[in-house]
Amino acid sequence: MMAGYSGFPVVGTPDDIADFLQAMAECGMAGATLSWPDYDAGLEQLAAAVLPALEARDLRQPFTG
């Protein structure tokens, strides 16, 4: 169940995850659904490290809301 239905784990450093998502974007992926075993901690890591890495690669725009 942790991998999700028709999903697969992406594990590593924030840069590893950004590398993976960048490779998927280059293949045409327009979005992803993410989940974590510890959802609260995962969201904190996403906001603090993964999203800035994606923004630095121009894969997403910074949140301005």
| pLDDT tens per residue across all 65 residues of the chain | 555 566 778 889 999 999 999 999 999 988 888 888 899 999 999 999 999 999 999 999 998 88
Contact (CB, 8 A) for 23 and 30: no
pTM exceeding 0.85:
no
Q: Is residue 50 within 8 Å of 14, Cβ to Cβ? A: yes
Q: Show Cβ contacts of residue 55 under 8 Å, excluding neighbours closer than 6 positions.
A: 61, 62
Q: Tell me how far apart the alpha carbons of residues 12 and 9 are, in angstroms, rounded to a whole number.
A: 10
